[in-house]
Amino acid sequence: MKIRKILLSGCLVVTLCSCGGSQNENLNLTLSKDALFDKVKGAWAGQVIGCTYGGPTEFCYLSTMIPDSIVMPWGPGEIKKWFDGGGGLYDDVYVDLTFIETMERCGLDTPADSFAVDFLAKEYPLCHANQQARYNLLHGLSARESGYWKNNPHANCLDFQIEADFAGIVTPGMVNSAVDICDRAGHIMACGDGWYGGVYVAAMYSLAYVSNDVNFIVTEALKSVPAESKFHECMSDVICWHQQYPTDWKKCWQEIENKWGTADIACPDGVEVPFNIEAYVNGAYIVLGLLYGEGDFERTIDISTRAGQDSDCNPASSGGIIATMLGYNQLPEKYRTVLMEVADRPFNNTVSFNKGCELSYGQALRFIEREGGKVNQDVIEINYQEPKAAPLEISFEGLKLDKRISIENWVAKFPEIKFHGIGAVIKGAVQGENVPEDYVAQLEVYFNDKLVETCELPLKYNHRKHELFFNYEQPEGDYTLTCKWLNPVKSADIWVREVVTYTK
């Protein structure tokens, strides 16, 4: 028997291959067209079901597991309920489907700018890196600039990780093609570890078409992420801890929490609090579900949900990946029945589940043929791609927390904030009743009486700036931070919640 050894962060991962054959001989690279469509449908179904399953507990359990005593609700109308309530839960799905629509319009080599144009045109709810990207695009930044960490303090958040599914769904067994799509779409809202989260998820989807070995999918997909990255280190840790505690996911969860639970300060909302929306921690919960779920769909999404934090997005990813491997028809009937109640209803400003499956299937066939595979009358043959590491990107390099200061007051009473460092984030929001929706507040921010930025702050929720101000680019030194509101109007105010200052 041929043995492959992979070294991940000091942990030896051993996978067994068939006698005398190459790795590719263990992959199923020939599928009927019906089987391919079943996997495409499974991918989208697993994502929607997983998101719905974890929806009621989203960010309710922070740095703690959801206890076994909490029963996840499921029954007739469970998905329809979220649709009827506005569908905002499904940001995992509707951004994904937007990019599928764009590729249908612009082709397999859709440029980044086209992805950005369609993303910007949608008026669905967004948050964190996605909302800052929308703001950046509205204010003239390019597709790649809008996700760069100096322009987006949420660049390491999980936004692209939860919407990179489409890139793997349309590239069965062609991991490098999936990563290429990620490069063009994912830098709209992410870079560094935030982008690697999407790369990794897309790679796992791609591999789930051609392998029924969850351990192989998880470890092989990680080859797409540079080993020098923090994201790679975190996923490697989870794989190693799974080897140490192969039957106890809760021990593995505790190891994740001990090392990675509060290890980052990039997202301003997660500084010195249990809340964690970083890609690598939540990515760890995706892998946790996949490894300990052992190919069982319901157990997979349940573990990823019970890990806490973003408990809808993580089972959406693990559920989509495992359902790609299994195929739609192998999913429990109680989930398929509930999904079919809304299968022809469009997600927010995008297409329906059924239409998304149809478009993705057509794009997958075109990718298979273009990348050297064969599309015959009833059978397709995949030209498998050995995963290659994406280029190294490091976001927020050297950035350290100086202090976090609670304000909770109107900007008119903004105090002088003294700090030593290189920059700051001011958290807050423009508020007001009976104020024209197109009102844009102008807020000047000064360091030592030097104007750093005149912030344009739209009142309109979907056009808002996620933070009032952020800047990490000043020479290290002692600063006094002050603000001046240039254009106050009646009934409008700028509420300031806190200031986070940074040093090196």
Average pLDDT in the 53-69 region?
96
Q: What does the pLDDT average to over 161-172?
A: 98
Tokens, residue 203: 């790679």
* DSSP character at residue 85: T
* pLDDT of 211: 98
User: Domains in the chain, start-ordered, CATH in brackets?
Assistant: 2-381 (1.10.4080.10), 400-503 (2.60.120)
pLDDT score of 57 more than 60: yes
| DSSP 8-state symbol, 65 | P
**Residues contacting 429, CB < 8 A, separation 6+:** 464, 468, 494, 495, 497
262 confidence band (pLDDT: 50, 70, 90): confident
Q: Encode pLDDT of 264-313 as tens digits.
A: 688 999 998 999 999 999 999 999 999 999 999 999 999 999 999 999 99
| Model confidence pLDDT, tens digit, residues 452-465 | 999 999 999 999 99
Strand 450-458 versus strand 2-8 pairing type: unpaired
Query: Which residue, 23, 8, 13, is CA-closest to 225?
Result: 8
| Whether the Cβ atoms of residue 99 and residue 310 lie closer than 8 Å to each other | no
Which of 392, 176, 163, 161 lies closest to 283 in space, CA to CA?
Answer: 161
Report CA-CA distances (Å) from 36 to 48, 135, 179, 498: 19, 38, 20, 50
How far apart, in whole angstroms, are the C-alpha atoms of residue 203 and residue 225?
10
Helices 279-293 & 230-244 angle (0-180, nearest 10): 30
* Residue ranges with strand state E in 134-190: none
String of DSSP letters for 424-482: EEEEEEEEESS--TT-EEEEEEEETTEEEEEEEEESSGGG--SSSEEE--SPSEEEEEE
The rounded distance, in Å, linking the Cα atoms of 190 and 148 is: 6
Q: What is the pLDDT of residues 226-256, one digit of tens each?
A: 999 999 999 999 999 999 999 999 999 999 9
Question: Which tokens sit at 457?
Answer: 């702050």
The alpha carbon of residue 125 and the mean position of all alpha carbons in its chain are separated, in whole angstroms, by 15
Tell me what pLDDT residue 380 has.
97
Burial zone of 262 (CB within 10 Å; 0-12 exposed, 13-18 middle, 19+ buried): middle
Q: Looking at residues 130-150, what average pLDDT do you find?
A: 97
Average pLDDT over residues 60-76: 95
Give the pLDDT mean for 203-223. 98
Tokens of 37: 């469509």
- Top-confidence residue, 398 or 354: 354
Compute φ and ψ for 432, nearest 5 degrees. 165, 150
Mean pLDDT of 129-155: 97
Instruction: Specify the pLDDT at position 265.
Output: 80
8 A C-beta contact, residue 129 and residue 189: yes
Residue 26 pLDDT? 86
Mean pLDDT to the nearest integer, 58-74: 95
Sign of the CA dihedral running 275, 278, 281, 282 = positive
Average pLDDT rounded to a whole number, residues 63-83? 96
Contacts (Cβ under 8 Å, ≥6 apart) of 118: 98, 99, 101, 102, 105
The per-residue pLDDT for 47 is 98
- Residue 367, Cβ density class (10 Å: 0-12 exposed, 13-18 middle, ≥19 buried): buried
Strand partners, 174: 385
Q: Length of the chain, please?
A: 504
Query: 441 phi and psi, to 5 degrees?
Result: -70, 145
d(CA 236, CA 284): 9
Residue 10 has pLDDT above 60, yes or no: no
- Is the distance from CB of 184 to CB of 142 less than 8 angstroms? no
pLDDT per residue as tens digits for the range 173-197: 999 999 999 999 999 999 999 999 9
Residues whose CB falls within 8 Å of the CB of residue 77, separated by 6 or more in sequence, listed in order: 338, 341
Q: Which tens digit of pLDDT belongs to each residue from 489-498?
A: 999 999 999 9
The whole-angstrom separation of Cα 309 and Cα 275 is 7
Query: Which whole number is the average pLDDT over 317-339?
Result: 98
Exposed e or buried b for every residue in 110-133, given b needs 16+ CB within 10 A? bebebbbebbbebebbbbbbbbbb
Beta-carbon contacts of residue 422 (< 8 Å; ≥ 6 apart)? 399, 472, 473, 474, 475, 476, 502, 503, 504
Q: What stretch of H or E contains 359?
A: helix 353-370
- Tokens for 502? 């940074």
Q: What is the mean pLDDT of residues 145-164?
A: 97
AA letter at 335: Y
